[in-house]
Amino acid sequence: MKIRSAFTVLALAASLVARVPATRPILGVDPIHIEASASPCRDFYGYANGAFDRKPIPGEYASYGVNQEIDERNFAVLKGILETAARKGGPKGSLTRRVGDFYAAGMDEARIEKAGVRPLAPLFAAIQALKTPTDLMAVLGRLHATGIPAGFGFGIQVDDKDSSAMIASFTQGGLGLPERDYYLRPGQDADGIRQAYEGHVVRIFALAGDSADSAKAQARTVMTLETKLAEASRTLVALRDPEANYHKVARADLPALASLDWNAYFAAVALPPGESHVLVGQPEFYKALAGLMAAEPMAAWQVYLRWHALRSAAPHLGAAFVDENFAFYGKTLSGATELRPRWKRILAAADRALGEDLGQLFVKTAFSPAAKARALEMVHFHKEAMRARILAADWMGQATKAQAIRKLDTMRSKVGYPDRWRDYRSLAVSRRSHALNVQAAAAFDFKRRMAKLGRPADRDEWHMTPQTNNAYYDPSMNEMCFPAGILQPPFFDEKADDAANYGALASTIGHELTHGFDDQGRQYDWQGNLKAWWTSEDAQRFEARAHHIVKQYDAFEVLPGLRINGKLTLGENIADIGGLRISFEAFKLATQGKDLKPIGGFTPEQRFFIAFAQGWRTNQRPEALRLQVASDVHAPVRWRVLGPVADFPEFRKAFGCEPPPAGQSPTAIW
């Protein structure tokens, strides 16, 4: 079986080479985007990307830029994989058969329309049958086990204070809007979003067969109940404090913490009886939830659960559900004007369901061994640059520096793709029902995660698929991960010059490395444990410097009257600022002793900074900007360039800029 699968992978990958877009991106720095009349010293983002700013945003996107261009090329490869697999199939149980059947079922619109909401019938029956709070906890467990988030959040994670162990974790949740302030924020705009959301709920219930009056009444019930859950929830800023959101509770003590039938939930999710402790991130949320379960009629909870089952399934049902889901979450919240083509939506679903099956096929075509070797070399130079910055930090004492260096030396780097691929052979996929395939994949993944309990943390597991255009730092694992999907032009090109590669990847390698030492990451030690390893004096000095960054970003006005939340975005801003500096110094280490020449009229240093700025070129709709500022821990792209270069001497030197006025210089940490 394994040998046959390997041959299938190689043959299929070879067949896709012709499908990869023939046009190759400009290596690193593209002069076509530069606005030569703009001053790099006054608005570096506008200088590097001003010409791109005039490009229209395609209708299917809320934002469009360099990331979406990379995505489109990755999508082309993945589309070829899926179409070929759907057409040719493969032996039963093989990788190609799974991805091909999943894609074929998702593209079978006639069958999906005919099925209607019948794939949800067993869940609806369970919801309709509940009569008591005990029943409610059991049904919540059943929904969670099939990938439907409702009521609260449940997952399996590394224990923050014992990184060798896995533990069950409970968090606040259960909302249909992006986060709690959407329910509570005053103002006309906020009122408009809430009204639009309630109207959306009405229309989904009507599509599911409810009368107009019933749908309207049920939508009001959903809104009332979700608002109460929001009132019990912590703000996004409060959720950023790992110590304040860590509460390890004995399983036997849970009823005292919140009067819920925990045993009914544990039975539904099959939590092993040997698991003696769990994490409860926000205990006050669960106390409020217990009160709501006791006070609110079970009929109200039935309406709420039915809504969340429909909300989760809507993208995978018939066209009317898909269109209505897009009308609110795509148009109203994000500003997109056109629904994405069906093949892209099914591709995204396949990526979530069978990500590492697809990944095995993707890397054969889109990521060479030479690319991996060069990326690993770049990671090495970034770590050496970080070492130098730690040792040179005049505000940090020797004891803290020694621990920081230990953390740096033990930080792992995952590049391209896993050494061990996930095994999906026990996941049953058919061509009969797309919605049921999605449910089956969610249930498979839930069981996979539950199976981690009682075992040591798996340090080889990846939390992104290889084809993902993104990266992460995991503080509990003390590791960075750079999938093949992001190591693509213009972020990274094995044929590009070092200035372009290091500049473009400042927002990736330098950024993720700095996350290990941002305001959250710094609280985890070299083993990944949430532990106070800083001296109190050094911690205070760190916080004082971080405060200046908060003030710097608080002052950025994104739209008239709309400013960045410096506290919410602090960790990402520290990583952006530090990442640029570390990447620049890594570039200097990598090219030490080399005779670098100007290219295209730009010095190597200028190319580094332009590549960095062009790595953020993105046009965003106003709705997308508002959504991001309200609910995202990242600053909008323009300020992810302007913030880091604001007080960077090497940048000023490269472009001949004057230093900032005395007293107006932001404070960098790394």
Secondary structure (DSSP) of 586-648: HHHHHTTT-----BTTB-HHHHHHHHHHHTT-EEE-HHHHHHHHHH-SSPPHHHHHHHHHTT-
Domain boundaries, the chain: 31-75+346-655, 118-316
Q: What is the pLDDT of residue 26?
A: 59
Q: Average pLDDT for residues 634-659, to the nearest whole number?
A: 95
For the stretch 218-248, pLDDT in tens is 999 999 999 999 999 999 999 999 999 999 9
Give the confidence band of 667 by pLDDT, cuts at 50, 70, 90: confident
Class of domain 118-316: mainly alpha
CA distance 390 to 394: 9
Share of the chain above pLDDT 70, in %: 95
Q: What is the pLDDT of residues 235-283, one digit of tens each?
A: 999 999 999 999 999 999 999 999 999 999 999 999 999 999 999 999 9
Q: What is the pLDDT of residue 18?
A: 31
For residue 125, count CB atoms less than 10 angstroms from its CB and return exposed for 0-12, middle for 13-18, buried for 19 or more.
exposed
Please determine whether the domains at 31-75+346-655 and 118-316 fall in the same fold group of CATH: no
- Average pLDDT (33-37) is 96
Interatomic CA distance for residues 203 and 307, integer angstroms: 11
Q: Structure tokens of 667?
A: 């404070």
Give per-residue pLDDT as tens, 468-483.
999 999 999 999 999 9
Range 583-598 average pLDDT:
96
> Model confidence over 368-382: pLDDT tens digits?
999 999 999 999 999
pLDDT classification of 8: cutoffs 50, 70, 90 = very low
User: For residues 437 and 104, what is the distance between their CA atoms, to the nearest angstrom?
Assistant: 11
Query: CB 458: neighbour CB atoms within 10 A?
Result: 12
What's the rounded Cα separation, in Å, for the pair 62 and 334? Answer: 5
**What is the structure's pLDDT at 661?**
76
CA dist 351 and 78 (Å) reads 9
Whether residue 543 is predicted with pLDDT greater than 90 in this model: the reply is: yes
Whether the per-residue pLDDT at 504 is higher than 80: the answer is yes
- Per-residue model confidence as pLDDT tens digits over 153-194: 999 999 999 999 999 999 999 999 999 999 999 999 999 999
| pTM (2 d.p.) | 0.93
Query: Is the pLDDT score of 19 beyond 80?
Result: no
Helix, strand, or coil here: 529? Answer: coil
Res 663: pLDDT: 63
pLDDT average, residue stretch 552-567: 97
pLDDT at position 21 over 50 = no
**Cα–Cα distance measured from residue 227 to residue 233, given in angstroms and rounded to the nearest whole number:** 10
Which residues neighbour 217 within 8 Å (Cβ) at sequence distance 6 or greater? none
Confidence (pLDDT) at 25: 55
Between 22 and 515, name the one with better pLDDT: 515
User: Which residue has tokens 């309630």?
Assistant: 198
Map residue 546 onto helix, strand or coil. Answer: helix
- 658 vs 667: CA distance, rounded Å: 17
How high does pLDDT run on average in the chain?
Answer: 94
27 pLDDT above the threshold of 70: no
Question: Per the CATH hierarchy, to which homologous superfamily does domain 31-75+346-655 belong?
Answer: Collagenase (Catalytic Domain) (3.40.390.10)
Write down the pLDDT at residue 664. Answer: 63
